[in-house]
Amino acid sequence: MSSVNPETSAALSLLNAGAVRERANRLLAIGLEDGLANFRIDLDRLDGTAGLVVETTSKAYPSLAVPFHSRWRHFSMNGVDRWATLAGQTAWHDPAGRPRAEFDLAVVSVFLDAGAGPSWRYHDPATGWAIGRSEGLGLASLAMFTGGVFSSDPRQPLRADADVLANLSVADLVRGMQVSDANPLVGIEGRVNLLRSLGRLLASKPAVFGRFDTPRPGGLFDWLASLADGHRLPAPAILSELLREFGPIWPSRLTLGGVALGDCWKHPMLTTADPTSHLMPLHKLSQWLAYSLIEPLQRAGIEVTDIDGLTGLAEYRNGGLFVDGGVLTFRNEGDAGREHDVASPLVVEWRALTVALLDRVADHVRRRLGLDANALPLAKILEGGTWAAGRRLARERRADASPPIRIISDGTVF
């Protein structure tokens, strides 16, 4: 007889992209039967939404040479890729030096990338521009990283060390993110606590994060490289490792069988016959990180396969696309004017439907462009794409470009 706790086995079954997609589609099926409590679904509006995505993509990328949706897109300004320029000028001590540094940067930057709120701006010293939201957070985190804020060695600024992350102060982030009473950042304490938890976790797992160096996020590059079979690594395997290794850092959320479930929430319509009943995994930041680790792995000679095995991201730009585009409508119109906790069934429902609808809109986009999934994987449709189209609709409909659903955020989900 197996001694494995059945609750533990059930919990582990949720730590993968397949579980996200399967359960999201289950909620979509319920919604298409008009059985959801919070949203109605109008698939007749999906083709028009796809048309907006195609138009947005074609304007930004006329040749349709769309890059992957990842954090690396936010390190460019005025056509200059700041990280690529710096990395190309750096004398790396060994072939793994650059990918380790890129993993350091990607992990820290993504974990700082939950929604900034409508008021915050990063005032970029190089251009003088005031840049908000994800792009501003990206540039601010890049400046902190290249300035050595996360390094324990002044001679090697381009790294993030476990001991520095574990002792990061609110003042450090306030300074790096230029936060003030006049420039408030949503969830700053939640972000600091997340990086502190990350630092403590890295230090506790030297076999994973410190195989060839002191513990750092970049140690994950060596770990994933060791899992590659013939220099090939499936993208869903990247996510599964991220979820297993980083799971304990997420703040007081659901656990099952002693396993921290991360970005996983309860929805009353998702009933199963096992201990995972009512649980909807979404893993937004972890999947955003998985997408962002693909390019460093590719540059290091590792072929990342099955990229479409990852799902769309359950965040407010993609989700806003479907609400502002009329695919999703509130069953109770009063919900549009209220704030909603991220754990509420309404938000969980919205995010899950977003994941399932992104697959459907991707099919429409490919048909319109005459391309298949190999030429236009979901990661490129997100970038081209659904995220940009969602932002475009938000700007057209609301002066502050805020999402159509108001979320109470602690800085660690969206």
> How much is the pTM?
0.94
Taking CA atoms, 96 is separated from 93, 229, 304, in Å, by 8, 18, 17
Q: Which two tokens stand for residue 167?
A: 């002792």
203, 163 in Cβ contact below 8 A?
yes
Can you give the pLDDT at residue 252? Answer: 67
What pLDDT band is residue 414 in, cutting at 50, 70 and 90?
A: low
Write the pLDDT tens digit of every residue in 186-232.
889 989 999 999 999 999 999 999 999 999 999 999 999 999 999 99
Q: For the chain, give every domain's residue range.
A: 6-408
What number of CA atoms fall less than 13 Å from residue 190's CA on the CB side?
19
More reliable by pLDDT, 262 or 20: 20
CB 150 within 8 A of CB 103: no
Instruction: Return mean pLDDT, the chain.
Output: 94
Instruction: Dump pLDDT digits (tens) for 138-164.
Output: 999 999 999 999 999 999 999 999 999
CA angle 307, 115, 12 (to 5 degrees): 45
- Tell me the three state secondary structure of residue 338: coil
Residue 77 has what pLDDT? 87
Q: Which residue has the higher pLDDT, 114 or 410?
A: 114
Instruction: Write out the E strands in 80-237.
Output: 80-81, 121-123, 130-132, 232-234
pLDDT digits (tens, 9 = 90+) for 13-68: 999 999 999 999 999 999 999 999 999 999 999 999 999 999 999 999 999 999 99
Give residue 412's pLDDT.
Answer: 67
Q: In this predicted model, what pLDDT tens digit does every residue of 307-349 receive, in sequence order? A: 999 999 999 999 999 999 999 999 999 999 999 999 999 999 9
Q: Which long-range contacts (CB under 8 A, 24 or more apart) does 90-99 make?
A: 90/158, 95/300, 96/212, 96/221, 96/222, 96/225, 96/300, 98/296, 98/299, 98/300, 99/218, 99/221, 99/296, 99/297, 99/299, 99/300
pLDDT at res. 278 = 98
Per DSSP, the three-state class of 378 is: helix
Beta carbons within 8 Å of 22's beta carbon, 6+ residues apart: none
The pLDDT of residue 248? 87
State residue 172's pLDDT score. Answer: 96
pLDDT in tens, 358-375: 999 999 999 999 999 999
Sign of CA dihedral 266, 269, 275, 276: negative
> Which helix H or strand E contains 387, and what residues bound it?
helix 387-397
Among 2-6, 62-66, 127-131, the minimum mean pLDDT is found in 2-6
Confidence of residue 3 (pLDDT cuts 50, 70, 90): low
* Mean per-residue pLDDT, 267-274: 96
Strand partners, 330: 39
Is the pLDDT at 2 greater than 60? The verdict is no
Structure confidence at residue 79 (pLDDT): 86
pLDDT score, position 179: 96
For residues 148 and 357, give the distance between their C-alpha atoms in angstroms, rounded to a whole number. 41
Check residue 410 and give its pLDDT: 65
The predicted structure's pLDDT at residue 1: 42
Q: Which residue type, as a one-letter code, is found at position 162?
A: A
The per-residue pLDDT for range 80-98, each reduced to its tens digit, is 999 999 999 999 989 999 9
